[in-house]
Structure 1
Amino acid sequence: MNREFEIVKASIYGIVGNLLLVAFKMAVGFASHSIAIILDGVNNATDALSSIITIVGTKLAGRRPDRRHPFGYGRVEYLTSVVIAVIILVAGLISLRESVVKIIHPGTPSYSVLTITVIVVAILAKIFIGIMFKRFGDKTDCEALTASGVDSNYDAVLSAGTLVVAAAQNFWGL
């Protein structure tokens, strides 16, 4: 097994999957005026960016030792984890700001059958992406992929929360 190849392959799958989710969620979020779906799309964009950083970190960490770095570049993978954590923090702060703005100036979201369908598809996609990352992470002993898998599963839970809100609004008028 070529570890670097497997990590890059998993990351590319994650990038494609997350960018598709970004496109769907942004379109549906703006059409339905749902800040929850829009912020979920932003979260998927940060997940795609995290996968790109994982690829870069893996490529750099795989470089051969040289005179300046006689033990190699393996520690770069730890640095990429820090960069990913900062991205998640920034995305969280942006989400917090947007949520406060929506609390101050609320809009009325409308959840159509299409909107709910996209949310359900997003939940299933994030579960699939989470399982895929976890398997690749275990296979390659890559902490970044394993962490991305856990993050994807949490994203599925958050999307399920949006689904509950949509159901509460549509079925019970809340």
Structure 2
Amino acid sequence: MAETIGDDAEQDDDGRLRRAATYASVGVALTLIAAKLAAYLYTESVSILSSLIDSSSDLLASVVTLLGVRVALRPPDRSHRYGHGKAEPLAALAQAAFVAGSAVFLTYEAINRLFNPVAIQESSAGIAVMVFSIVLTVGLVAFQRRVIRRTGSMAIGADSLHYSGDLFMNLAVIAALVLTGMTGIPILDPLFALGIAAFLIVGAFRIAKGSLDTLMDRELPHGDRKRIREIVMAHPATRGMHDLRTRNAGITLFIELHLELDSELTLAEAHDITDEVECRLTEAFPQAEVIVHQEPFGLSDDRLDTRIAEAGRLRRGS
């Protein structure tokens, strides 16, 4: 009972950290939009416009993240007995769409400025705003990474990647303003904007891939699966295991496997051994729900491992 209470308290702390990170993200995005909008109106720099567009998409993405995390933290109910954890990768996928959309708009605007250059006014004011943006963003990313290390949140991880990209973007904007001011060549500004747009596209692709992997129940990395197998086989009563299945449901990992035990064991003995194996796996993967099916060692039956191996041989043969 004490262990259960402790686990519940830890989950509550994780939930509060997730919520705090989403509120901080929305607050930072609103602040940066106001500062960059003023800077763009003052300087008419397309590089600052690119950063303003990105901050606007950040705000939308941060709001989606806030809603996604709020839904993901809901406990299981009659209609969602596995919980609501996949709301997080859905939120991250929406972020990828926002990022890609902002990159397309930015590309259009930058190309337009290449053919119709506009002189930048008062670049020093723009630089000051971008330095302010960098300082604020560094603080947010540091807090988000702390939350990610603690909770493993996919939505906040995507949001953090978003803002980490902003750091490089802001540095690129400063470089564009400085170089344009020094050389007087107006096309340098839209050229930097095109580079920023390419960076956004790459980031959107990475976010989308991670989200789709989770939504499609992709297996955990090979190293994690190997670790699971080693933990199970390390128990002295284990005779074998098969049909290991794993997936990441956003805020919860699911580990399922068939545990092979001596057929002479009583039901109570097999149950105790299974509990010990599950406890060892939970210690190694605190965010996991572990489901173990017991089977007599040496039993010949239809196995998922066998079907997957046969399907692989058929694909190679074709």
Larger RCO (alpha carbons 8 Å, 6+ apart): 1
AA in 1 matched with 2:85:
G
Could you say which residue in structure 1 is the equivalent of 2:202?
Answer: none
Q: Comparing both structures, which one devotes a greater share of its residues to strand?
A: 2
Write the distance in 2 (CA, Å) between the matches of 1:66 and 1:128.
37
1:161 maps to 2:172: yes
Kept after mapping to 1: 8 A contact 2:64/2:95: yes
Write the distance in 2 (CA, Å) between the matches of 1:62 and 1:146.
16
CA-to-partner distance for each residue in 1:104-161, whole Å, 9 max, x for gaps? 2221112343222112111222222222211122122112222322321221111111
| C-alpha deviation, 1:165, in angstroms | 1.7
Kept after mapping to 2: 8 A contact 1:134/1:150: no
| C-alpha deviation, 1:172, in angstroms | 4.2
Aligned length: 174
Could you say which residue in structure 2 is the equivalent of 1:89?
Answer: 100
Write the distance in 2 (CA, Å) between the matches of 1:136 and 1:76.
18
Write the distance in 2 (CA, Å) between the matches of 1:33 and 1:167.
14
Match 2:111 to one of 86, 96, 100: 100
| C-alpha deviation, 1:171, in angstroms | 3.4
Superposition TM-score, scaled by structure 1 size: 0.90
- Name the SS for the 2:141 alignment partner: helix
1:147 maps to 2:158: yes
Write the distance in 1 (CA, Å) between the matches of 2:126 and 2:40.
8
Unaligned runs of at least 5 residues, structure 1: none
Q: Comparing both structures, which one devotes a greater share of its residues to helix?
A: 1
Could you say which residue in structure 1 is the equivalent of 2:62?
Answer: 51
Could you say which residue in structure 1 is the equivalent of 2:282?
Answer: none
Write the distance in 1 (CA, Å) between the matches of 2:180 and 2:86.
49
Could you say which residue in structure 1 is the equivalent of 2:146?
Answer: 135
Instruction: Return closer, same or farther for 1:67/1:10 CA change in 2, 3 Å cut-off.
Output: same
Match 2:87 to one of 76, 82, 92: 76
Kept after mapping to 2: 8 A contact 1:29/1:38: yes
Moved more, 94-103 or 111-120: 111-120
AA in 1 matched with 2:78:
R
Kept after mapping to 1: 8 A contact 2:72/2:85: yes
- Name the SS for the 2:119 alignment partner: coil
Unaligned runs of at least 5 residues, structure 2: 1-9, 186-318
Counting aligned pairs with the same residue, the percent is: 21
Write the distance in 1 (CA, Å) between the matches of 2:176 and 2:122.
9
Kept after mapping to 1: 8 A contact 2:26/2:59: yes
Structure 1 residue ranges (4+ consecutive) displaced by more than 6 angstroms after TM superposition: none
1:38 maps to 2:52: no
Match 2:18 to one of 7, 32, 46: 7
Aligned Cα root-mean-square deviation (Å): 1.7
Superposition TM-score, scaled by structure 2 size: 0.52
